[in-house]
Amino acid sequence: MICNHYNFVKMDKIGAYLSKHEIKPSLQRLKIFEFLYNNKNHPTVDSIYTALSPAIPTLSKTTVYNTLKLFISKGIIRSIHIEDHEVRYDADTIPHGHFKCIGCGGLFDFPFDHHLQLQTNLAGFQITEEHFYLKGYCKLCGAN
């Protein structure tokens, strides 16, 4: 569950990173981005809220949700809709695929670059969103 194919944001640079993407860096926004950056297991709104609310008592789930929506609209995070009942979030915007284990529920990243095929097969089409999902059993669950 580790995205190790990017490392472009230094922790002390998050404020500048948000500003660069036209996001006013409030404390809550900084903390939410920092959490996403440090937790590459694709957290949900609930898990972000649960993790941050002890340190930020003024935080609400609505704020978390709206902040994530803002981040998505500015292109600095992506949402993952691999299941109907849960949305997860990813600070890794470099195209990669997700593998969902139906055994343990883990969501794994894998490098995946299909742009060459798309340029050929969808020449002239404008892609505004892309998702590549696989489901199955991870190495640990498949062994049982």
Could you tell me the smallest distance in angstroms from the CB atom of residue 18 to Zn ion?
Answer: 20
Closer Cβ to Zn ion, 25 or 106, answer by number: 106
DSSP 91: S
What is the four-CA torsion angle of 52, 16, 108, 98, rounded to 10 degrees?
120
Asked if 36 interacts with Zn ion (CB under 5 A), we say no
Hey, which residues between 94 and 133 contact Zn ion (CB under 5 A)?
101, 103-104, 106, 109
Which residue of 18, 36, 64, 138 would you call a contact of Zn ion, by CB under 5 A? 138
Pairing of strands 107-111, 86-90: unpaired
Closer Cβ to Zn ion, 25 or 103, answer by number: 103
DSSP labels, 10-60 = -GGGHHHHHHHTT----HHHHHHHHHHHH-TT---HHHHHHHHTTT-TT--
Total chain residues near Zn ion (CB under 5 A):
9
Could you tell me the smallest distance in angstroms from the CB atom of residue 123 to Zn ion?
Answer: 27
Hey, which residues between 37 and 96 contact Zn ion (CB under 5 A)?
90, 92
14 neighbors 30 (Cβ within 8 angstroms): yes
Could you tell me the smallest distance in angstroms from the CB atom of residue 105 to Zn ion?
Answer: 7
Closer Cβ to Zn ion, 32 or 138, answer by number: 138
Contact footprint for Zn ion (CB under 5 A): 90, 92, 101, 103-104, 106, 109, 138, 141
